[in-house]
Every structure is written in structure tokens, then in C-alpha cells.
Amino acid sequence: MALLAAAVTVVALLGALGLYPTDEAGVVAQPISVTEGSGGAEVDTPTPQRTAPEGRSGGRSAEPAEANGSAGATGAADAADPAEVDEPAAPDGPDASTAEGSPLPEGSGTGTRVVFSESRQRVWLVESGADGDAVVRTYPVSGSTLDNLFPGTYAVYSRSRHAIGIDDSGTMEYFVRFTQGTSGAAIGFHTIPVKDGRPLQTRAELGSPRSHGCIRQARADAVALWRFAPEGTTVVVTA
């Protein structure tokens, strides 16, 4: 018993002097291999056999899951090109149900046609049928602030689902061209141009001249005219 007591005393003295490693509870520690969760080198070091802190066991911690969608330059998730998908049916425009309150201009022709009044800044889509001509849609627009479009009868000669304006004037959609201005640039109907991610005017501003020559429309109206006016459709411009 005396010998056993002496042995315990020696072990205790060695532990107290730091010559024999123990854990906080006085249990002898065993060397084990650990790997740093941050990707550090794997080393053998005397450490207590207890659960490693969260994120430090099993090697490098998991990478965060990638968010759904890829952020583009504008920060919006990638989506299908609008040109590759079908457009929904165009709803009634702001004034589509008030054709009786916005009669066609005098001398605006007959038959199926698109009518644009410069003084009233308004468009009418007119369809010819067995019972005569009928306005199927009318709405306010924004035409040119310049004197580069003259009254007369024209015809749609070209269409582009997407287009870029001259002189860095933005991008537009549903461009339906029917003539050229005094500078030779195409004139037609299209959506309100967008530049640097922002529209150049609001829908509330439609009804007053705002463009360099073309006729700007709300998107729903632009879609309606796009569907109404294939190449060859008559366009009548009145003063």
C-alpha cells in the first residue's frame, strides 16, 4: 500500500509540474489528429478527447448554397428573352373603351388602317368589316417634338421586335416602321424607350409630344398595334 501511495504521489507531482499532460478534469490526455476547419495543415497535437468545436471537425466547412438565379449586371435574375416567349393578350389600353368620346379625325381614310393624329397625339386601330369600319382600339401616344413627320398615307414596311434608337436614345420594343424623317431615320410606332434601365417618360405623359420623330406607346398598346399591323398595313397621319 505504501508503494502504491508513493506511485500516485509521483504521478501527481509530475502532473503538477506539467511534465505529464492532463485535461481540465485531471484525466490523462491522448494525442489525436485534428484538421483545421479553415483548411490549415493537419497536425498531431496533444489535445483532450472531446467533441471539436462546430465547424472545425471533418475538414473544411461546407460552402454556402448558391442562390437561385444568376445575378446579371442589373442585379436581376436571368430570365427568358421576351422575344422567345409568347406575349400575353394585350389588355385594353387606357382609353380603349372610349372610342365614342374620341372620334376618328376627318379625312382619315377608309378600310383597315392605323390612324395617328399629330394635333391630338392619339392613335386609332380601325378594322374594316361587313358593317363598315370600326375602331377596335384608341389610345394616347407621344409623337415628335420636331417637324419631321407630315400628314399623308403610308404603309408599314418594316418591323423589329427589339431596336436601338439613333444618337444613343435608348432601346425600344415592337417597332413598326412606316416612313422616314427628314434626316432619313426611320419613323414608326414603338414602346417608350428605355435608357440605362429607366424609361424616358411615364405613361402619364403620353398624349403630348416627347420623341425625336417616332410615336411612343404604352407597352400594352404597342403589343396591340404590333399584332394589328403586319407589313403592308395602311397608316394615315393627320394634322
CATH of 96-238, one of 1.10.357.10, 3.40.50.10490, 2.40.30.10, 2.40.440.10: 2.40.440.10
| Residue 204 in grid coordinates | 402619364
Instruction: Give me the percent of the chain exceeding a pLDDT of 90.
Output: 54
- Report yes or no on whether pTM surpasses 0.85: no
Q: Choose the weakest-confidence range: 26-40, 105-119, 151-165, 184-198.
A: 26-40
What pLDDT score does 166 carry? 80
User: How big, in percent rounded to 5, are the helix, strand and coil portions of the chain?
Assistant: 15, 30, 55
Paired sense of beta strands 215-217 and 186-191, if any: parallel
Q: Which residues contact 39 (CB under 8 A, 6 or more apart)?
A: 59, 60
Residues carrying CATH 2.40.440.10, the chain:
96-238
How confident is the model over 121-137, as pLDDT tens digits? 999 999 999 999 999 99
DSSP state of 90: P
Could you tell me if 148 and 166 are in contact, meaning their C-beta atoms sit under 8 angstroms apart?
Answer: no
- Which residues, in sequence order, are bridge partners of residue 125? 114, 137
